[in-house]
Amino acid sequence: MSGTRLPGHGLERGRRIEFVLDGVPAEAYEGETVSAAVMADRDLGLRTTERAQPRGYFCGMGVCFDCVMVVDGVPNTRTCVTWVREGMTVEHQDGAGPAGAPRAPRH
Ligand code: FES
CA of 43 to the centre of ligand 1 (A): 16
pTM, entire model: 0.85
Q: Between the CA of residue 80 and those of 12, 17, 103, what are the distances in Å?
A: 20, 18, 25
Domain count, the chain: 1
What pLDDT score was predicted for residue 15?
Answer: 95
Which structural domain range is residue 47 located in? 16-91
23 touches 68 (CB < 8 A): no
What pLDDT, in 10s, does the model give residues 6-41? 777 777 889 999 999 999 999 999 999 999 999 998
Decide if 80 is inside a domain: yes
20 touches 72 (CB < 8 A): no
Decide if 98 is inside a domain: no
Alpha carbon 90 to its chain centroid, in Å, reads: 6
Decide if 9 is inside a domain: no
Decide if 58 is inside a domain: yes
Which of 38, 78, 82, 83 to mutate for ligand 1's pocket (most ligand atoms within 8 Å of CB)?
A: 78
Decide if 99 is inside a domain: no
Decide if 101 is inside a domain: no
Alpha-carbon distance of 48 to 74, in angstroms, equals: 16
Could you tell me the CATH number of the domain that includes residue 80? 3.10.20.440
Decide if 63 is inside a domain: yes
What pLDDT, in 10s, does the model give residues 37-70? 999 988 888 999 989 899 999 999 999 999 999 9
Decide if 20 is inside a domain: yes
88 touches 20 (CB < 8 A): yes
Ligand 1 site, residue 67, Cβ cutoff 6 A:
yes
What pLDDT score was predicted for residue 87?
Answer: 98
